Structure 1
Amino acid sequence: MLTTGPVPAYPEVLAALGKPVLYDYHPAFQTYYAGVVEKLRQALRTDNNPVIMQGEAILGIEAAAAALIARNDVVLNLVSGVYGKGFASWAARYGREVVELAVPYDEIIDPQAVREALRSRPDISIVSLCHHDTPSGTLNPLHEIGAVVAGHGAYLIVDAVSSFAGMDAHPQDAHADIFITSPSKCLGSTPGLSLIAVSERAWNKIEANPDAPLGSFLSLLAWKGASEPGRPFPVTPSIAEIYALDAALDRYTREGPENVWTRHAQTASVAREGLLGLGLSLWPKQEAWCAPTATAFKVPDSISDVALRDSLLHDHGILVSLGRGETAGKILRIGHMGASAEPGFARTIVSALSGILSRPLHP
């Protein structure tokens, strides 16, 4: 399964899912939960305790918009792909105005363009960025953009769902005020949780925002301090998912973050080299813009993306992802995340594609 997520879970994660489910008010579980939050804090390399929301990462992204964006905020939404574009609907729901800085979906956001946008609209107070937009396979320069946003004094919301734990991407280093990621991508765990780092100044803004949700499944505020033993959870947490996250964090730490990042990068490099060797073209205009966690390549004009995807699945037992939105029908995407980030898997799919493309393929 070489999809762009969810990805195959590590064996340790699958084993953890089989542990007995404890009552969430049991002191043993509350102490255990606090320990998992601390492990996550260390993995994220952030000073504040992160929040674990009980839903797939799209919950965390929408919750970030609802909490941080106030009715008078002007949001600069950076768009280089489908998911970056999609954030505008939430930003418009909560803020006064959304300004869009967009590039073609085979390009990346230029930090200088962000600087110029902020200069032209000094009233921009929040900037939103999708670090790695998987339907494009491109990787935006997070740290450079973060520095520009910090210099302007705006708040930065980062969708790091498919980048964190697959590369050197951490909230404080990137000046991110809200940094959302998922356990079901590069951490190699299961879908069902949103992992969110919130800066101290973002918490202050959220607490001062009269429209920030309370008594809602979207409420970030409800989860602040939820890891403190003895404090009730806003809703029943997904106990088994917490076990799985714990196992994934242990594995990440045991292998060593730098080693994990290297494994992801090596896998992507092997895939790109192999695809180019077959005469295929990468979707991003420049190879330097390709993400280490997914490789998007153009499907030859003479064949169908679905037919090629299905041939990989039925003839070789390899599942990859189709394009989405503007890239639908144009590309296939190979995921290199978590357990699928192994150079041997990249060689396997290149070999399979070589065989498929050497013979006529029809829809």
Structure 2
Amino acid sequence: MVLRMVPGPTSMSAAVRQAYAEEVGSPDVETEEFFSDYFVLEATFQRLLNFSGSIVIGSGEGMVCLWGALNSVLSPGDTVLCVVNGIFGEGFAGMAKDMKANVICVHSDWTQGIDPNTVIAAIKEHNPRLVTLVHCETPSGVKSIEALLMLELGIVNPLDGIGKAIREYTTDGLFLVDFVSSSFGVVLNVDEELIDLGLFAPQKVLSGPCALACTTVTERAWERIRELKYQGYDALLPFDGLSPSSPLLLPYTHNWPAIRATMAAANAIETEGKEAVIARHAAVAQFCREEAVRLGLELYCQIIEHASPTVTALKVPTDKLSWEVMEKELKAEGLICGGSYGSLYGNVFRIGHMGTQANGSLVKEALDIIARVIASHT
């Protein structure tokens, strides 16, 4: 029996797997039946994310929505302000540079969250057309800009004031937030935070299939999308105006089984109650951190208030063994968890406790295995 505690894709439940396996027809021919499912899923996402605009549900892994959002709203020479305190923040800067944008980075220590006031000051100074921010940097286990994270009490101020500052201090700036790894596991109100493009996918907290790329889109963002007219597989434009009363057309054959499976995953969240799901993630994250420290492991994130409720990053005890050896021996013991990337590779590993994996007994089992493997090298 393999215990998978990875930062995603997370393990799908039996109900989700069953929905994924159900036979469906052709979404290109049986359009009414397919779009009935599509719009039900969109409405569910709107409720869960507190968002009143339209949501593009694209076919493809989560990275598709990252590229699709940038391609759909950026032109060469546009000023992009990228908030960077982790690998995916760096990734947005790299993608924007490849698109010939004028990229300005607001850097922060990777073990800490971004100070919103620093970001707002940069917005005032540079008048960007786009601000990009990663809500939860899973390679480091940091929730990137939360000044206060007290999920146990239901108090959370993510993205505080940044969307408002973009509206007030830029000519026509848009706010893009990657909440792939945090959505549905933390308090998030997309409307209140004035997020123009919110990126998410079902393979994290939802524990759905790794097959859809989703984007919340405000009318302000649609105006830019219509202006640029970008046409590509990842383009948002073909979804503009899609509604039950519009012509039901998509630019490609959609993944209907993935829509069905994600509906089952989202229904499970609503059945449990989104507040209960958030509380469960907070409690399991706290337990994971406390138990890891008790076992002698060192947390990567130095400020607990900034720690992610969906992933815990721990330092590899390199004085005892390398990550390559540790990973191999963990697998031999039946545990698969995540390493890290870039400059963190070999120094940090991650336990994913999101979705179906937000379970204290699973976390305890994983940490016990980790402790045994490390102890064998002492």
For the aligned pair, the TM-score class normalised by the smaller chain equals over 0.9
Letter in 2 for 1:222: P
**Which residue matches 2:211?**
192
**Which residue matches 1:59?**
64
Q: 1:95, CA displacement in angstroms? A: 5.4
Q: 1:72, CA displacement in angstroms? A: 4.4
SS in 1 for 2:269: helix
1:170-225 CA distances to partner (integer Å, 9 max, x unpaired)? 3213221000001000011010101110011111122122xx412x2021011223
Contact 2:185–2:310 (CA<8 Å) still a contact in 1?
Answer: yes
TM-score between both structures, scaled by the size of structure 2: 0.90
Q: Does 1:267 align with 2:284?
A: yes
Contact 2:50–2:188 (CA<8 Å) still a contact in 1?
Answer: no
Q: 1:125, CA displacement in angstroms? A: 2.2
**What root-mean-square deviation, in Å, do the aligned CA atoms of Structure 1 and Structure 2 show?**
1.7
Moved more, 183-192 or 33-42: 33-42
Moved more, 295-304 or 94-103: 94-103
**Which residue matches 1:160?**
179
Uncovered stretches (5+) of structure 1, i.e. residues with no partner: none
**Which residue matches 1:220?**
236
**Which residue matches 2:113?**
108
Equivalent runs, 1:1-363 vs 2, <5 Å: 1-24=4-27, 25-26=29-30, 27-94=32-99, 96-121=101-126, 123-140=127-144, 141=146, 142-144=158-160, 145-153=162-170, 154-209=173-228, 212-214=229-231, 216-228=232-244, 230-302=247-319, 303-315=321-333, 317-360=334-377
Uncovered stretches (5+) of structure 2, i.e. residues with no partner: 147-157
Letter in 1 for 2:327: R
1:233-258 CA distances to partner (integer Å, 9 max, x unpaired)? 21100011011111011111111001
Letter in 2 for 1:172: D
In 2: Cα distance, 1:96 partner to 1:331 partner: 32
Give aligned pairs, total.
Answer: 356
* Cα distance change on mapping 1:344 and 1:150 into 2, 3 Å: farther
SS in 2 for 1:179: strand
* Cα distance change on mapping 1:149 and 1:278 into 2, 3 Å: farther
In 1: Cα distance, 2:116 partner to 2:44 partner: 32
In 1: Cα distance, 2:190 partner to 2:203 partner: 19
TM-score between both structures, scaled by the size of structure 1: 0.93
In 2: Cα distance, 1:335 partner to 1:91 partner: 29
